[in-house]
């Protein structure tokens, strides 16, 4: 199997069950305690900006993007990104990140953030978010809070408490 045998497609609700399995396998029960999971609990992910890799009709990898806000800024949260163990190290993860970043750019997003390993995401264009700039809903190793700026200045607009965009809209309506 090579990368050429893999098809990359926007996510569809029919993929949900397989995506859940892949994420459960990749991250285990600990995934529910993560800061990124807490943000994603605030609302849905962006179906149109989330992608799967298919091989012989089966979902073998997935990446999702979720809208968030922090201060005056808006961003997309990348993750979970996971590849079935038998399909690792063939370039599928990197290709999904490239596809997600292109989709984010095309959708007009200024910045994509994630919590992940800098050695993996650094070569894909992600840099550390300056210490103290963002307050995540759960503790995060600051070395793992990374951003890829798609429009100059978009990262600087992200300040303070990070939350799902839908949750921020809901609280704005409730306090109006």
Ligand X SMILES: CC(C)(COP(=O)(O)OP(=O)(O)OC[C@H]1O[C@@H](n2cnc3c(N)ncnc32)[C@H](O)[C@@H]1OP(=O)(O)O)[C@@H](O)C(=O)NCCC(=O)NCCS
Q: Is residue 147 involved in binding ligand X (CB under 6 A)?
A: no
CB-based closest residue to ligand X: 93
Alpha-carbon distance values, 165 to 4, 75, 151 (Å): 36, 9, 19
Does 25 bind ligand X (CB under 6 A)? Our answer is: no
What are the structure tokens assigned to 70, written together?
């922090």
Asked whether position 88 contacts ligand X by CB under 6 A, the answer is yes
By CB under 6 A, name the one of 82, 104, 150, 168 that touches ligand X.
Answer: 82
Q: In this structure, are residues 6 and 55 in contact, taking their beta carbons and an 8 Å threshold? A: yes
Residue 164 binds ligand X (CB under 6 A): no
Q: Which stretch binds ligand X (CB under 6 A): 7-15, 75-83, 101-109, 130-138?
A: 75-83
Strand stretches in the chain, DSSP E: 7-10, 51-55, 58-71, 73-83, 111-115, 127-128, 134-135, 145-149, 158-164
Give, as ranges, the residues between 99 and 128 that touch ligand X (CB under 6 A). 116-117, 119-120
Distance, CA of 21 to CA of 135 (rounded, Å): 30
* Interface segment toward ligand X; rule CB under 6 A; list 80-88, 133-141, 155-163, 167-175: 80-88
Give, as one character, the DSSP assignment of residue 28: -
Q: Which span sits near ligand X by CB under 6 A: 5-13, 40-48, 92-100, 158-166?
A: 92-100
Distance in angstroms between the alpha carbons of the first and the last residue of the chain = 55
- Minimum distance between the CB of residue 8 and ligand X, rounded to whole angstroms? 12
Residues forming contacts to ligand X in the complex (CB under 6 A) are: 26, 79, 81-83, 88-94, 116-117, 119-120
């Amino acid at each position: 199997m090579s990368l050429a045998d893999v098809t990359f497609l926007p996510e569809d609700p029919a993929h949900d069950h397989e995506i859940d399995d892949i994420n459960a396998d990749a991250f285990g029960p600990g995934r529910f305690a993560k800061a990124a999971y807490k943000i994603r609990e605030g609302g849905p992910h962006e179906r149109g900006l989330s992608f799967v890799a298919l091989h012989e009709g089966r979902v073998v990898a997935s990446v999702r993007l979720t809208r968030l806000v922090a201060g005056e800024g808006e961003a997309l949260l990348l993750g979970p990104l996971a590849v079935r163990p038998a399909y690792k190290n063939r370039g599928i993860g990197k290709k999904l990140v490239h596809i997600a970043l292109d989709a984010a750019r095309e959708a007009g997003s200024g910045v994509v953030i994630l919590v992940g390993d800098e050695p993996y995401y650094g070569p894909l264009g992600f840099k550390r978010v300056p210490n103290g700039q963002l307050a995540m809903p759960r503790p995060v190793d600051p070395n793992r809070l990374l951003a890829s700026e798609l429009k100059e200045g978009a990262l600087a607009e992200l300040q303070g408490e990070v939350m799902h965009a839908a949750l921020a809209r809901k609280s704005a309506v409730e306090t109006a």
